[in-house]
Amino acid sequence: MKFGTKAVHAGVHPDPTTGAIMTPIFQTSTYAQVSPGAHKGYEYSRTQNPTRFALRDSIAALEDGKTGLIFSSGMGAIDTLMKILKPGDEVISSDDLYGGSYRLFSRVYEGLGIKFHFTDMRKVDNVKKLVNEKTKLIWVETPTNPMMNIVDIQAIADLKKGTDILLAVDNTFATPYLQLPLALGADVVMHSVTKYLGGHSDVVMGALVLNDLELAEKLAFLQNSAGAVPGPQDCFLVLRGIKTLHLRMKQHCENARALVPVLQDHPLVEKVYWPGLKDHANYEVAARQMKDFGGMISFVVKGSKEAAFKVMEKFELFTIAESLGGVESLVNHPATMTHASVPPDKRLELGIVDNLVRLSVGVEEPEDLVSDLKQALEL
């Protein structure tokens, strides 16, 4: 079954009671039992909910995974995965990653005895040097946030072959439409469903997808114990959003492709970061493991932070806001917004300078976005 067909149909079946095409919103906390322990597979909505399970099956199918779990946020998903670790374990992570992930790793789990190694994963040898008997997890973001760095998932998977090390990939920027980490050797895929999967900036949610049913059972136990579950209304909204994922991603990519040359040719722009540029580091890897190059672009404005702010404030269609992946175009200042929790010296080391701007390119008409970008750059 091709991706667009799966996006519309996977995990969704007509309601057996009414024949409703869309999965109903099962807005209930509990379920009737004919006798203690004798029920129809549902006891309590923290543990099981039909709307949530339909979404779980849909996202798992899109990632070509066997099963998955749906969480109240992307951070809830990452936190649950981290709970399988114990003091003394070590994690190798992308050094350029979402600020919230960095904060959770460095300020929460390091304090609980987990050691994190943050490294530039564009070079696989950097990861190889850090692998030891205490390594239990390799955490990959690709493309990374906000520098759009590309990591070779298959090469990292080959590196840890024959070990018990888990490889987890944050696939938020690419989505399963552009990239399938499990097929490349990953063990776990994470999504901030808030972004492209939901696609309409109206839901906060996360997901994990995997093939290992035993690990899935452990994660389900942890999720149920801690309670990081979304409500059925939010699950319904994402089920609806996913039906157009393939259409939206095509437009996101097309629109980004239209904006990149404008940025490259403009005298006010110092540097452009987009995986589809042939001079982008690891472009060949992106071309091999991704179907297209996505709708996220970062660029450096010549001058100071104030110059970057002036550009951002001049946009008319791009809205200054946190988050990404919605149908509307957004503009973000990583140093003071999404990556403010990363120490300033670390930000500079990664290239997250004060005059770096990140665009989440929406699905508006490309000509209108080009016009908006041009006028914003005319200071």
DSSP 193-252: TTTTTT-SS----EEEEES-HHHHHHHHHHHHHHT----HHHHHHHHHHHTTHHHHHHHH
Residue 319: which residues within 8 A CB-CB, separation 6 or more? 328, 329, 330, 331
Q: Which of 170, 234, 354, 372 is catalytic?
A: 170
- What is the arrangement of strands in the sheet containing 269-273, beginning at the earlier edge strand? 269-273, 296-301, 356-360, 330-332, 319-320
- Strand-pair partners of 207: 70, 191
Q: Which of 122, 160, 195, 358 is catalytic?
A: 195
Q: Which of 42, 46, 250, 314 is catalytic?
A: 46
Residue 152: which residues within 8 A CB-CB, separation 6 or more? 124, 282, 285, 289
**How many Cα atoms are found within 13 Å in the side-chain-facing hemisphere of 42?**
14
Cβ–Cβ under 8 Å, residues 238 and 203: yes
Q: Which of 6, 52, 96, 98 is catalytic?
A: 98
Amino acid at 304: S
Distances (CA, A) of 88 to 15, 50, 136, 333, 370: 48, 38, 10, 36, 51
CA dihedral for 32, 37, 42, 48, sign (positive or negative)? positive
Residue 291: which residues within 8 A CB-CB, separation 6 or more? 177, 178, 179
Cβ–Cβ under 8 Å, residues 304 and 336: no
* Torsion region of 283: left, alpha or beta (phi above 0 gives left; psi -120 to 50 gives alpha): alpha
Cβ–Cβ under 8 Å, residues 315 and 371: no
Distances (CA, A) of 208 to 9, 60, 93, 220, 357: 20, 8, 17, 10, 29
Active site residue 170: yes
Active site residue 46: yes
DSSP 58-72: HHHHHTT-SEEEEES
Catalytic residue annotation? 46, 98, 170, 195
